[in-house]
Each structure stands twice: as C-alpha cells, then as structure tokens.
C-alpha cells in the first residue's frame, strides 16, 4: 500500500509538466509551420515576378514604345510591384518603333516582408529580366488596351 501511495504522489506532482512541454514544443512547431508557409509565399512571389517580366516583355514587343499598359498589366499580375521596380529598355538605346531590335523588361529592388513570429524578415528578391526581339510595336494590338 505504501508503494502505490508513493507512485500516486509522484504522478500528482507531474500534472502540469505535460502542459509546459506542449507549450515549449508547440511554439517551436508553430514557428516552423509559419516559416514553411512564408517560404512558400516567397517562392510564389519569385515565380510570379518571373511571369510578370515575361508578360511585360511580350507586351513591350507588340505595344507602342513605353505604353502604360505594360506596367499596369505587370502590376496587376504582381501587386507588390511599384513603378520604380519595373525597367523597360529598348535596344539600341534611343531607337524608334521602326529601328528597335529588342526589348528587355526587368524587375529590380523588389522586397518582400515576412510574417514569421519572432523572426520578421525583409527579403530582397534578385533581379528578374526577359529580353525578346521586336515585333509589331503597334497600339492596334488588342492586348495593349488597358
């Protein structure tokens, strides 16, 4: 009888230990879970930035030079883009609609903020760039309408 009472007392002394262990493990688990979700979100932004440069280059080779539809459609695809993040270069420099040979659309300086608990990060994306040869560069193309 004495042994059973002693084992009962040992169990009674450890009732709160499970809650403490859960709190320690759960905080690490949830931080890791949020970290995985944020990395997935960063990869989504990475892929979308690549697609936005491709879209911008496709529009730049068929729309008028420096058409506003290029930037607005890129920004609608990737909402965190600002006008200062988008560069459109027609080559050779200073060319006209008839003399341009290619168009390079790039995204630079894009920073994404994470919401990982206890570890807020600002991740600067690498530059993204797409170059295509000139096509019509004519605003009559229906894709150029905003």
Listing DSSP states for 101-126 in one string gives -EEEEEE---EEE---TT---EEEPP
Q: For 11-55, how does the pLDDT look when each residue is reduced to its tens digit (9 = 90+)? A: 656 677 888 888 899 988 988 888 889 899 999 999 999 999 999
pLDDT at 89 over 80: yes
Q: Which of 104, 117, 108 is nearest to 37 (CA)?
A: 117
Reduced to 3 states (helix: H, G, I; strand: E, B; else coil), residue 49 is helix
pLDDT of residue 4: 60
What's the pLDDT score for residue 117? 67
Q: Read off the pLDDT of residues 129-141 as tens digits, 9 standing for 90 and up.
A: 999 998 877 767 7
Name the more confident of 122 and 142.
122
């Amino acid at each position: 009888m004495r042994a059973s009472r002693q084992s009962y007392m040992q169990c009674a002394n450890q009732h709160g230990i499970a809650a403490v262990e859960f709190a320690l493990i759960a905080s690490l688990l949830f931080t890791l879970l949020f970290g995985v979700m944020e990395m997935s979100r960063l990869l989504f932004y990475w892929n979308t930035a690549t697609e936005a440069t491709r879209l911008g280059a496709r529009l730049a080779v068929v729309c008028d030079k420096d058409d506003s539809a290029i930037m607005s459609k890129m920004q609608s695809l990737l909402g965190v883009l600002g006008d200062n993040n988008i560069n459109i270069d027609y080559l050779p420099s200073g060319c006209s609609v008839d003399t341009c040979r290619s168009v390079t659309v790039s995204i630079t300086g894009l920073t994404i903020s994470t919401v990982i608990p206890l570890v807020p990060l600002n991740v600067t994306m690498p530059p993204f760039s797409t170059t295509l040869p000139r096509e019509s560069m004519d605003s009559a193309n229906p894709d150029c309408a905003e």
